[in-house]
Amino acid sequence: ILIPTLTLPGILGNILCVWVFHKKDIELKPSFANLLKCLSIYDTLLLLGLTLQYTVPMYSQYYSNEILPLITPYSLPFLHMALTGSVYTVISLALERFITVCFPFNSCKMFNGLVYIALITLFSILYNVNKFLEIEAGVSESSVYSLDENGENVTEIVRQPWYKPTELRQSKMYSKYVVFLLNFFIMGLLPVILLSVLNFMIFRSIAKATRNHNNISSDTRRDTAMAGLLTAIVVVFLFCHCPKIAVNLYEAIEEENLNKVYPTWLAVMVKINHLLLAINSAANILIYSYKDLRFRKAVVSSFKRKHTLSSLRTSFKTSFGSRYRMRRMEDSRSTDRRVR
């Protein structure tokens, strides 16, 4: 019930984040800004997936009976892809900050973060491609016989969509080692370890640099601020994902017993996990606004009247386009000189 109240504000907030991080006055390194935009996009897709899979069926019986069974074999894998992309984008943000803060003089070219994004997208697809083989759907037909007003027999064909686990998903070996254990490690234990270690290394390096240098440059202060922002993202991430990790661990241990009886408390915990995932995906704009003054100023300035639609279009121009216009101006000036 609470997820719909988070979905629309979360989606609008993430779209606003993508626009703000595209602006130059936010003064972020391109790789970090692009990863933050990537995180907003994955979180938006995750919110849409949660809405289609778990929220809309609660309010529409037709959707639940007629549409959901047919789209579940496709919507559920895409939902997991968005979740995987979101989780590993946070890890990539931590890795980018670790390289920037701990090795500031070593150049590690990632083409403004595009290599991170490409690897995240590729991994999210490959890791979850098997989920397309876990659920099958179809339409069953049955004949219903009745009498019309004249007392004659009338046959009506009733079509009922359905979906169910495939033989692969029902396999005990696959369920235990792939669905539960592998998922617990890849989507639970490994992200927690990586984020904890990377954040510890980042703040240790910042503390050491602060002790050694009394005068901190503006770039260093900005890196420190972004490290604080990253920490806030990680804290919210851990808070929202730890219950899911605990449930996944319990399912991995009690997999055989769960096939017989599925506890009510576990079903409730699954729904709470869906809510926490929605909170995690919708809360980013609040984190950015709280931790970064320049982000707040950029958001406020975007709603001022002096920023017209033309300024909005200008903010979305790429640097290539800007260089192209400058080149045309220089060519026109040189042409004027030759004419003179």
Q: How far apart are CA 129 and CA 183, in angstroms?
A: 13
pLDDT at residue 340, as a whole number: 46
Which amino acid is it at 120? Answer: I
Closest CA to 175 of 234, 241, 233, 131: 131
The encoded tokens of residue 94 equal 């931590």
Count of C-beta atoms within a 10 Å radius of residue 171: 14
Report yes or no: 140 and 70 within 8 Å, Cβ to Cβ.
no
Residue 161 · residue 138 · CB < 8 Å: yes
Question: What is the CA 229 to chain-centroid distance, rounded?
Answer: 17
Q: Which of 229, 209, 231 lies closest to 220 in space, CA to CA?
A: 209
List the alpha helices (DSSP H) in 23-146.
Answer: 30-50, 56-59, 61-62, 68-102, 114-128
pLDDT tens, the chain, 340 aa long = 677 888 889 999 999 999 988 887 777 888 889 999 999 999 999 999 999 999 899 889 999 999 999 999 999 999 999 999 999 999 999 999 898 888 876 656 677 889 999 999 999 999 999 999 999 998 887 777 777 677 677 777 778 888 899 999 888 889 888 888 899 999 999 999 999 999 999 888 887 776 665 555 556 667 777 888 888 999 999 999 989 888 888 887 777 676 667 788 888 898 899 999 999 999 988 998 888 888 888 888 777 644 444 444 454 444 444 444 444 454 555 444 443 4
Cite the beta strand spans of the chain per DSSP E. Answer: 135-147, 153-165
What is the spatial distance between Cα 276 and Cα 270, in angstroms, rounded to a whole number?
Answer: 10
**Whole-angstrom Cα distance, residue 202 to residue 97?**
7
Give the number of other Cβ atoms within 10 Å of residue 6's Cβ.
22
CA distance 189 to 191: 6
